[in-house]
Amino acid sequence: METSNYFEFFNPVKINSGEQALSSLNYELEQLHVSKPLILTNQTLDELKILDILVASIKDLDINQRQIIRTVPNQANLEIVKKASERYRELNCDGIIALGGEAIIDTAKGVNLTISEKVDDLKKLTGIETAHGDMQPFIVVPTTGGTGSEAALSAVINDQSSNNNLEFISSKLMPDLAVIDPRMTFKLPPRLTASTGVDALVHAVEAYTGLQKNPLSDAYAFAALKLIGNNLKKLVNDVNNKKYRMAMNNAALMAGIAFSNSHAGIIHAVGDACEKISEVSHGDALAVLLPHGMFLNLKYNYCKNCYEDILLALEGTEKLIKTKEEDRALMAVDAVVGILSELRFLTGIPVRLEEIGIKRSEFEQIIDKAMHNSTLLNSAGQVKREDIKSILEAAF
């Protein structure tokens, strides 16, 4: 199986990464001509004093408390986007800062769309590349080390009236700046550190094995895999270690950049279906499904060749050399299983679908939903219903 020589790669986000990276924020705001930002975060980050670190880093600006919205829920929804947009207009803000994880970042993207496109009903902009105006200056300060949302050109926002998740995909949704500062993620406990690290691992694996992979996305995904292999288990054992924390933060960012450009595959298609049908955690579903999706793909030479590189990234040169060439792809899957097994031992992350509440009676609905997911077009081979069922059965 061969892919086209033509590819597109897009990553306009400036990245400031490292210890005390937030100290650059005054300068960056000045460069973006932002003097009155709206800050989006949640109550937890406020209570943990992480918000205080951000506000202290922009002491050159006189931040009114009404410029800070601390009530963003765990899932972005139209109601909070509307409330934040109204506050932005009322205060005549001139930029947006998202401090938090995926829900907060997606909320900020929704606010940016609403303000920039001058709409009152964000549902009108659902879909692909619906934004046409100039966007507001937008800065993301991620507080989790897994989603890569700070480098993603998509947002998912819930419509509570219909309980539907609305998807927005546009290059204009990407922030102007991502600030990766380890102080923002030090409060993550071992269990959450493990889960977000596995999220980054799934992004990197799917980015490296999809049909839309390309030399640039490969470079980001491989580098992310190498950092994950060298640092994830160490970080879970020592969550306050700055070196390991920065390595995983950078891995999540690079995996997100790769994933945004080469896109998802069968693992995400099945994981998304599990999330929608069984209402389980997206991250938990992907963590459970990852090795089983990889094992299914072993029947394709396209994936087997990719998996050799994954073995090299996760286990190093010595392991690759000692492994017979015909066994390297399987050993890559084994390396992933080894990481997940150790994280299970250390933190109790789930390894079976039954553990996270998925019932075998829901399999047919999950298969139906997954078969309609466009990401299957990026998977090696033509995915059939029995392929998805075999993954679910193996993971149950």
Q: Is 383 left (phi over 0), alpha (psi -120 to 50) or beta?
A: beta
Give dist(CA 134, CA 260) in Å, integer: 22
CB 143 within 8 A of CB 184: yes
Q: What angle do CA 340, 145, 103 make, to 5 degrees?
A: 110
pLDDT at 1: 45
Backbone angles phi, psi at 330, to 5 degrees: -65, -35
Domain boundaries, the chain: 14-184, 190-395
Bridge partners (DSSP) listed for residue 139: 97, 177
Q: What angle do CA 44, 183, 50 make, to 5 degrees?
A: 25
CB 113 within 8 A of CB 131: yes
CB 314 within 8 A of CB 332: yes
CATH of domain 14-184: 3.40.50.1970
Give the tokens for residue 4: 């086209």
pLDDT at 4: 59
pLDDT at 163: 78
Residue identified by tokens 């099945």 is: 270
* pTM assigned to the model: 0.91
With the CA atoms of 102, 247, 283 and 75 taken in that order, what torsion angle do they form, in degrees rounded to the nearest 10? -10
Please list the alpha-helical segments (H only) found in the chain: 25-31, 43-47, 50-57, 78-90, 102-116, 190-209, 215-237, 242-262, 266-278, 282-296, 301-315, 317-322, 328-347, 363-371, 385-395
3-class state of residue 35 by DSSP: coil
CATH of domain 190-395: 1.20.1090.10
Q: What parts of the chain have a pLDDT lower than 70?
A: 1-4, 146
> What end-to-end distance do the CA atoms of the chain give, in Å?
30
Backbone angles phi, psi at 24, to 5 degrees: -85, -5
| CA dihedral (20, 203, 14, 131) positive or negative | negative
| Distance set, CA 21 to CA 83, 119, 313 (Å) | 30, 34, 27
